[in-house]
Amino acid sequence: MARTYFGTDGIRGRTNEGVMTAETAMKVGQAAGTHFLRGGHKHRVVIGKDTRLSGYMVESALVAGFTSVGMDVIMTGPLPTPAIALLTREMRADLGVMISASHNPFEDNGIKLFGPDGYKLSDEAEMAIETLMTQQPLLVSPERIGRARRIDDASGRYIHAVKQSVASDVRFDGLKVVVDCANGAAYKVAPSAIWELGAQVIAMGVEPNGTNINRDVGSTSLDAIKARVVEEGAHIGIALDGDADRLIVIDEKGNTVDGDQIMGLIATRLKERGDLRGGGVVATVMSNLGLERYLASQGLTLERTRVGDRYVLERMRQGGFNVGGEQSGHMILSDYGTTGDGTVAALRVLASVVRFGKPASELLHVFDPVPQLLKNVRYSGGKPLENESVKAVIVEAEKELEGKGRLVIRPSGTEPVIRVMAEGDDARQVETVVDRICDAVREAA
């Protein structure tokens, strides 16, 4: 059955258009609430959000949906996605909901669902909810309508939890850290957690107004934090995205450190302590070949999945891994949480900086990445990748890179775009291959 609402990471779209309307949100609340009404206990759902203006609208509609089918609602206000996963488990809730479109602009919003175990829902559970959304909701009698309340201590609970990821003998005294919260969900909790561990914190992207989330700040707009790190003479910069499940680091020279280098560092440190599980790291097809070669030199494996942190997590759970993530900055450290957590990953990086006393530019240059190039081709309709001429060009490119690099071509899951990525030891060859495929796709489209 084709999906109407759920994509690769919950439901997402432009607010008040398509799938992202108040009507849809109420249907989600009614359907998801009905799906998780199991057993005779009093049922509850935890709802969090980022700082988008539309969050109020979506939250209110969800509350109406959940309470109408008999679920109690606990609202936390703005909190990171991993905090909602954590609180869902801690509060013995039947379901968790995060209202966020992650790194997208404020005009978009989304709905992510977590089960009672704090993990994102399976494809099967999402399809079951979609089916219920097409049916008449099972409204309860007036005396069984759910209650809604807002809790005030959610931020403190999350800050306490993330600090437990750092050993009790480690303090960040003497570290000057720029923390960019993207005017998003972590604008209070991330700077507070790092400050409480002793660092001097220079916070930016902490003045949300409903429309400035991810605008020229955060992990997808790095120019501002790069300049600030150098200007302040900071030891390191921490850049989060709108819902704070993603981390990009800036070293003291203003250079970008992506998720591949961060995974390499964390995995190496855990291996040295005997705490790395699964014999390696789980990442996606987009991670750099240099990471794979580096891990192999350490006797570790790199297992690749399709793009999407949910697929990384699925493989981690299957294989017993405790480190996984994406080059784009999703860091999943399963010893400390059930989903990507940019703040926890940042604390692990800062702890390594303190323990080894090395500058970030040295500590976080774990391996030399091979030349990698990604280009996007937008198309208006059809299926360009099924065109015979495009297939022929791809086959030729794969032969050319065989043994020297990799080729990854995939349609976007959220927009009409074909993503063409190649990497290899010869930068010129990589560029030629990508351009040739992009031209073929454009022609076919």
What phi and psi, each to the nearest 5 degrees, are found at residue 84? -70, -40
Q: Which two tokens stand for residue 175?
A: 């570290």
Least Cα distance to 47 among 13, 96, 5 occurs for: 96
Inter-axis angle of helices 342-356 and 259-273, nearest 10? 60
In contact, 402 and 445? CB cutoff 8 Å: no
Residue 366 DSSP class: -
**301 Cβ contact list (under 8 Å, min separation 6):** 279, 280, 281, 295
In contact, 80 and 151? CB cutoff 8 Å: no
Q: Which helix (H) or strand (E) holds 420?
A: strand 417-424
Q: Regarding beta strands 247-251 and 236-240, do their DSSP bridges make them parallel or antiparallel, or are they unpaired? A: antiparallel
From the list 102, 155, 287, 352, the catalytic residue is 102
Least Cα distance to 197 among 252, 243, 238 occurs for: 238
Q: Which two tokens stand for residue 167?
A: 């050993």
In contact, 312 and 233? CB cutoff 8 Å: no
What phi and psi, each to the nearest 5 degrees, are found at residue 191? -60, -35
Q: Which two tokens stand for residue 195?
A: 């400050």
Least Cα distance to 44 among 100, 87, 99 occurs for: 87
Q: How many CB atoms sit inside 10 A of residue 176's CB?
A: 17
**Is 102 labeled as catalytic in the residue annotation?**
yes
Residue 144 DSSP class: G
Least Cα distance to 414 among 308, 316, 335 occurs for: 308
Q: Any idea which residue has 């300049």 for tokens? A: 227
**Maximum C-alpha span of the chain:** 70
Q: How far is CA 175 from the centre of its chain?
A: 26
Task: Output b/e per residue, 66-87; b: 16+ Cβ within 10 A.
Answer: bbbbbbbbbbbbbbbbbbbbbb
Partner residues linked to 203 by β-bridges: 179
How far is residue 257's CA from residue 247's CA, in Å, rounded to a whole number? 9
What residues are annotated to the active site?
102
